[in-house]
Structure 1
Amino acid sequence: MEDPARLRREYQLAVLQHQHELIDLTLYQVRASRRRRTRGERGRRNWVRPWIGRRRQFGMYDQLMVELRNEDHASFTNFLRISPAMFDELLARVGPRITKQYTFYRDPLEPGMKLALTLRHLASGNKYASMKFGWRVPHNTQSLVVRDVCQAIIDEYVDEVLVCPSTPESWRAVADKFFQRWNFPNTCGALDGKHVACRCPPKSGSLYFNYKGFYSIVLMALVDADYKFIWADISGSGSASDAQIYNSCELKECVP
């Protein structure tokens, strides 16, 4: 027969443990309710920040770029690294791909604005956080715009601009131009790689850690005698050498 005193102690211990769990649950509910109340009181102050809403009056695209186009084409070219005529041609071809539908919430960014912002980011290397004040576009919006515009440019021009030779005759034409212009015989192109810094991908270990001491992916590109890209690959991991990337890519099978 079990000891009544021991059973009483076990019962009292179970009651105390249950009360302790109830206290913890109550404290958690109080903290959660306080956080929700604080967030509700703070709320969202602006749907759109007032200075961002005045983009058309004072933004760089609607003011500075208009002045440069009308008064100083050389400065326009220096600003975006392309001439006004080239900008207009690029906008005409890429514009339909980056145009968003108008809604009753807010007006979308103009295609020209997206293209100019992307070109300026690529030309200057400025961070989104520093560009948002001049362009009056939030940094998180810029991160989406730049990716969309770059992808649209690739989709529009890849089959026209980046054409890799596929026959012995086309490779021979590239080699002949190298010999005529640079006096290099039997040269099918100039090949080199570039480490593009990135964050370490999840569960990748040291695969993307290069010999320079940072994580990167490798941009491997081939150009002809006129410095025009005829092939590019951006799938190489930072720890791989140029030879490893070349041996594993499709270019090795295309070159005769």
Structure 2
Amino acid sequence: MDEVDEALAVMMTTAVAYYVTEKRRKKNRKRRLWCKPWLLRRQQQGWYQNLIQELRDEDPKCYRNFLRVNHSGFMDLLSLIEGKIAKMDTTMRPAVSPGERLAVTLRYLATGQSYQCLQYGFRISVSTIRQIIPETCEAIYQALKEDYLTTSNTTEDWLNVAREFEQRWNFPHCIGALDGKHVVIRQPSNSGSTYYNYKHTFSIVLMALVDANYKFSYVDVGCQGRISDGGVYRACSLSSALESNDLNLPEPTYLSGTSVKLPYMIVADDAFPIKEYLMKPYPHRNLPLERRVFNYRLSRARRVVENAFGILASRFRVFLAPINLPPETVEVVVLACCALHNYLMSHSTANSVYTPPGSTDIVDPVTHDILDGSWRNESGRMMSLQRHPPSRGTEGANHVRNTLCEYFNNEGAVGWQ
């Protein structure tokens, strides 16, 4: 036994001695190359100093396509986050400027290019880009969320949303369209089946409420892909806020031209439970004409959330392939994209590259048919929530749906339905 203890002591002493010697050797080893020479020429030959400035002066349309914002929008974003992302120069080399940090982040969101690819264009090392993109995405989200990504909390705001839904999509008392998407990611290390979803990929879930103009009213992101889609809804803060009536929704009012009062509600699809404040279609089995009319009218209103997700994925093409980042970083990237989507929609013009004519679903002014937007031709990797077997719902919820069905087939009928 003494011999074994002695042998263990010798082994431990040898290991400690080796560790100390190796640590000293690494500490005293001279760095062979502080920075690759071609990276040091960033300020003379990088994309930000050359290509982007040329596009600004010579081809504004390509500038907007390259960064998804025009120059004035870029400078506006830069002014909002510059103080949060600026770094100090050192005696060894100048820091990457805030403008470069914003440009490389927007280019990553617009294309989903790997950090290695971005390295060659911007002449910024992969290790630095790995720090820049999460920091800048967080700064973008924090700077924009209050003005562009805050859920309404006043009755007047909800009434404005409902008026727009009725005017544009012929669905009364609607305060938003709700849906969720699986954002596909690479399998995180040592995660097992935590993020493994029903489509046999790995994902986190983006849940969103969208207004009549394709803008996000509410987003919740980060739920693991393995959680059932019904569980995702129950776990999000919107569900609890609706149950406890914390959103200051308007009181039930009369449907136009009737003596029937109905509550204000959200429209959704079969992945969600039916509630008095959450309408979903009738089950698609041997439906009579009246119920098919209801489903059609609800589908028209619900298209806005499909369009919002479609625009998001087609403009920020980081969503078109599995995102090779840790889940917590993907959450920040998704939130930044949603905030930028609302920011760009709010500043969109008729000739905007972000939402050019034909990019979203539109209503034919003659036939009133809905014409698909160009985003539907994109092969996105954002997957829909899994549909569930029809639920019976409460008596109150079914009463609201049946009342709306009767309204759409009588006082609220339109010729094209």
Q: 1:226 aligns with which of 213, 221, 236?
A: 213
Whole-Å separation in 1 of the counterparts to 2:201 and 2:116: 23
Q: Indicate the SS of the match to 1:188.
A: strand
* Pick aligned residue for 1:82 from 50, 69, 72: 69
Give the match for residue 41 of structure 2. 54
Kept in 2, the 8 Å contact 1:198–1:217? The answer is no
- Judged with a 3 Å threshold, the aligned counterparts in structure 2 of structure 1 residues 100 and 189 are, in CA distance, closer, same or farther, namely same
Instruction: Name the aligned partner's letter for residue 123 of structure 1.
Output: A
Counterpart pick for 1:161 among 126, 142, 148: 148
Give distance in 2, aligned partners of 1:66 and 1:76.
9
Q: CA deviation at 1:63?
A: 0.9
Which residue does the alignment assign to 1:146? 133
- Within the candidate set 172, 183, 192, 2:170 is matched to 183
Question: For 2:204 and 2:65, how far apart are their aligned partners in 1?
Answer: 29
Deviations 1:145-192 (A, max 9, x none): 111111111111111001212233322221221111122233221222
What is the SS of the residue equivalent to 1:44? coil
Give deviations 1:122-145, integer Å, cap 9, x for gaps: 001001012111111111111111
Structure 1: how far apart are the matches of 2:20 and 2:161?
71
Size of the alignment, in residue pairs?
A: 242
Range that drifts further, 231-240 or 115-124? 231-240
Secondary structure of 1:153's counterpart equals helix
Please give the residue correspondences for 1:37-48 in structure 2 after superposition, counting only pairs within 5 Å. Answer: 43-48=30-35
Does residue 214 (structure 1) correspond to residue 201 (structure 2)? The answer is yes
Aligned pair in 2 of structure 1 residues 222, 32: CA closer, same or farther (>3 Å)?
same
Structure 2 match to 1:73: 60
Q: Report the CA distance between 1:92 and its aligned residue.
A: 1.5
For structure 2, list consecutive stretches of 5 or more residues without a partner in the other structure: 250-417
Q: Name the SS of the counterpart of 1:191 in structure 2.
A: strand
Question: For residues 32-77 of structure 1, what are the alpha-carbon distances to aligned partners after superposition, in whole Å with 9 as ceiling and x for unaligned?
Answer: 6886698579742111211110111211111111111111111111
**Higher relative contact order structure (alpha carbons within 8 Å, sequence separation ≥ 6):** 2
Structure with a larger share of its residues in helix: 1
Structure 1: runs of 5 or more not aligned: 1-12
C-alpha displacement of 1:228: 0.9
Counterparts of 1:132 and 1:157, CA distance in 2: 27
| CA positional deviation for 1:100 | 1.5
**CA RMSD, Structure 1 to Structure 2 (Å):** 2.7
- The residue aligned with 2:110 is 123
The alpha-carbon deviation at position 240 of structure 1 amounts to 2.3
Out of 92-101 and 127-136, give the one that drifted further: 92-101
Matches of 1:25 and 1:243, distance apart in 2 = 55
Call closer, same or farther: CA 1:139–1:185 in 2, change over 3 Å: same
Matching residue's letter, 2:176: G
Secondary structure at the counterpart of residue 189 of structure 1: strand
Counterpart of 2:94 in 1: which secondary structure?
coil
The AA in structure 2 aligned to 1:82 is V
Q: Which has the larger radius of gyration?
A: 1
**CA shift in 2, pair 1:53/1:169, >3 Å:** same
Residue aligning to 1:98: 85
CA–CA distance in structure 2, aligned partners of residues 189 and 251 of structure 1: 12
> How does the TM-score come out when normalised to structure 2?
0.52
* 8 Å CA contact 1:80, 1:120 repeated in 2: yes
Distance 1:68 1:140 in 2: 27
Question: Residue type of the partner of 1:194?
Answer: K
